[in-house]
Amino acid sequence: MNLAGLARHSGFIARNANAVTRNLGSQSSSNLSPSISRVSLFSTSTPLSCASHKSSSSDRETNRPGVQTDKYADGLRQNKDWAASTARDHPDLFPTLATGQKPQILWLGCSDSRCPETSMLGLQPGDVFVHRNIANIMHPGDLSSGAVIEYAVKHLQVKHVVVCGHTSCGGVAAAMGNKELGILDPWLLPLRQVRERNLALLESLSPDEAALKLVELNVRDGLSVVTQKSAVLNAIQERGLQVHGLVYDVGSGVLRELDIQETQDSLKTRLLAFKTN
């Protein structure tokens, strides 16, 4: 699979590529709101028409069947309705969140736009502390995921750590292929190493079965990296922190739990090898 193929599979990459195209491309594009076209690529200010939106000829044009509306403008406009309805349904939520957070779950998942962890769990803001990257890969030396895990486990005292993969993962599909992908190649290296270690098994399966198997193996590999961290081992031993492996089916919205039972001997070996004080 080439980079274009990966981009098609990965909402994260495709969305950003499209955003650049929209901002740098033709100003007369029919699916481009005039207010958005004037916004700098790096602007963080709210376009005036998004803050107090009125129906325009441009909107009527983008509301035609088959014409995609601009989701950024839609989202900003809908935010006020969402904030109001959430405050109405859960009057204590925002005042409580304004004083701090106490999430029970640390979620380590894929950046894919189809995998919104809080929505798929039916939970609320403040429930899930999140780190997401392409193909939910846990690099042992990655400062970003390492800092998130340490903060969530040691300081927020989460009760559950979840590593979640998903079906139709663009990163997994890329690792199953042998195309050069630039900066994504070093990122996908752990996934390719999982592929290498399980090559005979993966090659005995159909392409779809092999991709799903690599998703599961990648989750298990991620959990192995997470549970080599001393902060996680301490929390498992001292306060019963639980770790979980999940696979999300983007075609049905259903989560499946992997059996990741570890023997006492295996845990003992892990503690001896990785736990520090």
List beta partners, residue 26: none
* Smallest separation (angstroms) from Zn ion to the CB of 14: 12
Nearer to Zn ion, 112 or 221 (CB): 112
* Smallest separation (angstroms) from Zn ion to the CB of 165: 7
3-state secondary structure at position 38: coil
Nearer to Zn ion, 6 or 110 (CB): 110
* Smallest separation (angstroms) from Zn ion to the CB of 186: 17
* Residues contributing to the site for Zn ion (CB under 5 A): 110, 112, 169
3-state secondary structure at position 103: coil
Nearer to Zn ion, 73 or 172 (CB): 172
Residue 9 a catalytic site member: no
Q: Which of 112, 115, 131, 195 is flagged as catalytic?
A: 112
Give every CB contact of residue 154 below 8 A, 6+ residues apart in sequence.
231, 235
Q: Is 90 annotated as a binding residue?
A: no
Nearer to Zn ion, 223 or 241 (CB): 223
DSSP characters for 208-247? HHHHHHHHHHHHHHHHHHHTTSHHHHHHHHHH--EEEEEE
Distance CA 94, CA 100 (A): 10
Q: Is 169 annotated as a binding residue?
A: yes
Residue 114 a catalytic site member: yes
* Smallest separation (angstroms) from Zn ion to the CB of 112: 4
Nearest to 135 by CA among 168, 157, 110, 112: 110
Nearest to 216 by CA among 193, 248, 252, 243: 248
Residue 115 a catalytic site member: no
Rg (CA), the chain: 22
Q: Which of 50, 166, 195, 221 is flagged as catalytic?
A: 166
Catalytic residues: 110, 112, 114, 166, 169
Return binding residues for Zn(2+): 110, 112, 166, 169
Return binding residues: 110, 112, 166, 169
